[in-house]
């Protein structure tokens, strides 16, 4: 295990790409401030890992398990986080510009001060914390256990059935909070018109060509 950590820390200085076998067990790894640019960490188990201030620009973290990981101040610019599990991860001050968060699990993640087009209402909603995530081609919302586009949430809110965790009076209670949140989301999206275009151009250039 120590050899894996050391190899990750020194690979770039030796002119090699940092990488581990798919699904490698790196739980609790101390990789604070590590130079992991372009690292291949696909599917790695990084639960509880200390990646505070790590340079993960362009890293492949597809399907990685980052639950509870410390990613404060980490540079994740252009990283591929598709399908990564970031539940409960600390991403305060992280740089996520150009990162692909397609279907990443951000429930319970702390995104305070993180940049890259993310928008979060962390407390106060009866339905749970709300996170708006830019993905190539669209915006995606996580609200409690629900995930989908703002338009799909707007359609759901207008209905009196089909809510995943609410019935009857509880739907009526939650509806005004979500409508208010959607108004804020509309303002945020309008104020950040280039986020999706730039992300799509980076990850799906054929769509914008």
**Cβ 99 vs Cβ 117: under 8 Å:** no
Query: Taking 80 as the threshold, does the pLDDT of residue 1 lie above it?
Result: no
Burial class (CB in 10 A: 0-12, 13-18, 19+), 106: buried
Q: For 4-28, how does the pLDDT look when each residue is reduced to its tens digit (9 = 90+)?
A: 888 898 999 999 999 999 999 999 9
Cα 124 versus chain centre, distance: 21
pLDDT tens figures, 43-93: 999 999 999 999 999 999 999 999 999 999 999 999 999 999 999 999 999
**pTM of the shown model:** 0.90
Q: Where residue 122 falls among pLDDT bands split at 50, 70, 90?
A: confident
Could you tell me the domains of the chain?
1-116 (2.160.20.80), 118-209 (no CATH)
What are the two backbone dihedrals, phi and then psi, of residue 139, each rounded to the nearest 5 degrees? Answer: -100, 145
- Predicted confidence at residue 108, as pLDDT, reads 87
- What does the alpha-carbon distance between residue 200 and residue 96 come to, in Å, rounded to a whole number? 15
């Amino acid at each position: 295990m120590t050899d894996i950590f050391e190899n990750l820390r020194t690979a770039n200085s030796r002119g090699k790409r940092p990488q581990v076998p798919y699904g490698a067990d790196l739980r609790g790894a101390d990789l604070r401030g590590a130079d992991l640019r372009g690292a291949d960490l696909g599917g790695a188990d990084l639960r509880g890992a200390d990646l505070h201030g790590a340079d993960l620009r362009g890293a492949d973290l597809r399907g990685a398990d980052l639950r509870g990981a410390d990613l404060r101040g980490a540079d994740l610019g252009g990283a591929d986080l598709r399908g990564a599990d970031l539940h409960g991860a600390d991403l305060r001050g992280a740089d996520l510009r150009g990162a692909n968060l397609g279907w990443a699990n951000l429930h319970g993640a702390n995104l305070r001060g993180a940049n890259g087009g993310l928008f979060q209402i962390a407390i106060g909603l009866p339905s749970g914390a709300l996170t708006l995530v830019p993905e190539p081609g669209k915006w995606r919302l996580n609200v409690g256990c629900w995930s989908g586009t703002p338009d799909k949430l707007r359609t759901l809110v207008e209905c009196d059935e089909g809510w995943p965790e609410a019935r009857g009076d509880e739907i009526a209670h939650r509806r005004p909070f979500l409508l208010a949140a959607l108004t804020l989301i509309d303002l945020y999206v309008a104020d950040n018109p280039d986020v999706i275009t730039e992300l799509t151009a980076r990850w799906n250039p054929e769509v914008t060509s």
